[in-house]
């Protein structure tokens, strides 16, 4: 066959936000059925949200059953009453679509703990954190609608700082989560802040994207 007779190769179609959401739902259903581990779910969700073409999405679900009718009721995530985190000189983080418990006991010696709430699964209105921070740090990443109360924290030579997300300044957004922090800080720190902006966000003073 000559080059002139070769069939024309069409470019692969790009996917829409709706296509990405459909695959993300299929992945969550599979994880709820026990077909994917939490690590596999996090990895595939990241790839689904950044997918550009149909093949990018297809490879994420080709080993999973299809979702009948395009929608299935996703089982509600299990919310734990209490989660304990104890850190020496290492670091621990909770990021992505992790399920926020009702209460947390966090002990930090010289390491760090980061709780990123920007994409977390939140199904209740109050998160109570009992913190004991020595020379380490506890960082809570927030977004509009999350209020942090630190009035009951005892501070020695360390610091407690809370920054309100820029999108919430001058407005009155509906509060969907109240984080109540109690405990103590020795020479370490507790910080609550919005996500860090990229270079162009900082340059043009754009608020963080949630």
Q: In this predicted structure, what is the pLDDT of residue 161?
A: 96
Q: Say if 4 falls within a structural domain.
A: no
Helix (H, G, I), strand (E, B) or coil at 168: helix
CB 96 within 8 A of CB 147: no
- Do 64 and 89 lie in a common domain? no
Percent of the chain with pLDDT over 90: 45
Identify the band that residue 199 occupies on the pLDDT scale cut at 50, 70 and 90: very low
- Do 63 and 106 lie in a common domain? no
Q: Say if 183 falls within a structural domain.
A: yes
Q: Say if 5 falls within a structural domain.
A: no
- Do 54 and 144 lie in a common domain? no
CB 183 within 8 A of CB 132: yes
57 compared with 71, residue with greater pLDDT: 57
- The span from the CA of 45 to the CA of 207, in Å, is 25
Q: Which tokens sit at 183? A: 């405990």
CB 138 within 8 A of CB 131: yes
- The neighbour count for residue 77, using CB atoms within 10 Å, is 16
Give the residue-averaged pLDDT of 101-123. Answer: 94
71 compared with 134, residue with greater pLDDT: 134
Of 15-24, 80-89, 181-190, where does mean pLDDT reach its minimum?
15-24
How many structural domains are present in the chain?
2
Query: Residue 130 pLDDT more than 80?
Result: yes
Q: In this predicted structure, what is the pLDDT of residue 70?
A: 46
- Do 88 and 151 lie in a common domain? yes
Q: In this predicted structure, what is the pLDDT of residue 63?
A: 84
Q: Say if 120 falls within a structural domain.
A: yes
Integer CA distances (angstroms), 146 to 83, 92, 105, in order: 20, 21, 19
- The neighbour count for residue 161, using CB atoms within 10 Å, is 10
Give the residue-averaged pLDDT of 109-130. Answer: 94
Q: According to DSSP H, which parts of 54-179 are helical?
A: 54-61
Each residue's pLDDT tens digit, 93-109: 999 889 999 999 999 99
Give the residue-averaged pLDDT of 6-11. Answer: 47
- Do 120 and 153 lie in a common domain? yes
- The span from the CA of 29 to the CA of 202, in Å, is 38
Each residue's pLDDT tens digit, 140-154: 999 888 999 999 999
- The span from the CA of 124 to the CA of 148, in Å, is 15
- The span from the CA of 51 to the CA of 103, in Å, is 35
- Do 26 and 101 lie in a common domain? no
- The span from the CA of 181 to the CA of 106, in Å, is 10
Q: In this predicted structure, what is the pLDDT of residue 186?
A: 97
* Residue span of the structural domain in which 32 resides: 17-70
Integer CA distances (angstroms), 49 to 24, 27, 58, 71, in order: 8, 12, 13, 18
Q: In this predicted structure, what is the pLDDT of residue 192?
A: 96
Q: In the predicted model, what is the mean pLDDT of the chain?
A: 82
Identify the band that residue 172 occupies on the pLDDT scale cut at 50, 70 and 90: low
Helix (H, G, I), strand (E, B) or coil at 85: strand
CB 187 within 8 A of CB 135: yes
The pTM of the full predicted model, rounded to 2 decimals, is 0.60
């Amino acid at each position: 066959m000559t080059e002139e007779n070769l069939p024309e190769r069409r470019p692969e179609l790009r996917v829409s936000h709706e296509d990405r959401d459909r695959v993300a739902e299929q992945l969550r259903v599979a994880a709820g059925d026990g077909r994917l581990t939490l690590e596999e779910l996090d990895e595939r969700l990241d790839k689904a949200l950044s997918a550009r073409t149909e093949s990018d999405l297809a490879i994420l679900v080709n080993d999973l059953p299809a979702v009948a009718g395009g929608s299935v009721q996703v089982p509600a995530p299990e919310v734990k009453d209490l989660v304990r985190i104890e850190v020496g000189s290492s670091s621990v983080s909770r990021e992505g679509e992790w399920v926020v418990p009702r209460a947390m006991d966090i002990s930090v010696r010289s390491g760090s703990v980061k709780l990123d709430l920007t994409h977390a699964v939140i199904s209740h209105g109050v998160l109570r954190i009992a913190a004991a921070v020595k020379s380490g740090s506890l960082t809570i990443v927030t977004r509009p609608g999350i209020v942090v109360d630190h009035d009951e924290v005892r501070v020695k030579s360390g610091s407690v700082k809370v920054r309100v997300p820029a999108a919430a300044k001058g407005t009155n957004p509906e509060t969907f989560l109240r984080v109540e922090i109690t405990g103590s800080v020795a020479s370490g720190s507790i910080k609550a802040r919005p996500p860090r902006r990229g270079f162009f966000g900082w340059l043009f003073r754009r608020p963080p994207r949630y």
